[in-house]
Amino acid sequence: MSPRVLLVEDDAAIAEAILYALRKEGMAAEHAPSLGAAGLQLAACDVVILDLGLPDGSGFSLLRDAQRLAVPPRVIVLTSRDEEVDCVAALEAGADDYVTKPFSPRVLVARVRAVVRRGPRSGAKGDHAVASMSGLVIDPLRRDATYGAATLTLTKIEFDLLAVLAGAPGRVLTREQLVERVWGGEYALTPRTVDSHFKALRRKLALAGAPEGIIETVRAVGFRLRETT
């Protein structure tokens, strides 16, 4: 079945180019030029391409609304904001990917196909809680993660990254391995995108009282979760 794509973009020329590229590839693409119009179609789509700067408000509000749905759609943020803080904010709010303007419609279509291959949002693999180190407990079924008495409020990607690392404490996993296990299959991710997710994850762990360096970066290799504190 062709993925149902909702494009939320107020620039008519950009929207026309994207819709043409999506439909040319056989995707069922609809257009919403504002937050109000997008809200009516949000629950009926598989993927949302979301511009952050909209005439009736910030795209972040729609991104948050999407995460509250029973089956949240995949979200690709489309923005002219290329500062790291904006990238991190979008990823923390639940976005699966982001593309900065100017961009190639063909590349955007490839990104859509990549998030579609990951399938609908669902529980992480595994059937029992994972306790990787003192203080850190992860339950893949309930999708709960805690450090000590603090509950970690994680995005879908952050939870899956932590669960994968917790399943192999002390072992270094490359970015390629993490992309394969968390995003699934081939995916056009830059190292900066992966690192942005880890930056947000480390900050949340630190706020929960986890020690500095609980997630270690092994230069030119990847990441690992420390076995002991």
What pLDDT, on a 0 to 100 scale, did the predictor assign at position 135?
A: 77
pLDDT per position as a tens digit, 191-228: 788 889 999 999 999 999 998 889 999 988 899 988 65
**Model confidence at 187: pLDDT above 60:** no
What domains are there in the chain, each with its CATH number? 4-117 (3.40.50.2300), 130-225 (1.10.10.10)
Instruction: Express as a percent the part of the chain with pLDDT over 90.
Output: 31
3-state class percentages of the chain: helix first, strand second, coil last, to nearest 5: 40, 25, 40
Give the pLDDT mean for 48-77.
85
pTM here? 0.56
CA–CA separation, 157 vs 94, rounded Å?
8
Rounded distance, CA 14 to CA 17, Å? 5
Say whether 163 sits in a helix, a strand or coil: helix
Category of 99 on φ-ψ map: left (φ > 0), alpha (ψ -120 to 50) or beta: beta
Beta bridge partners of 56: none
- For 7-44, write each residue's pLDDT tens digit: 999 999 999 999 999 999 999 999 999 988 888 788 78
pLDDT of 190 reads 74
Give me the residue label for tokens 């029973």.
70
CA dist 163 and 158 (Å) reads 9
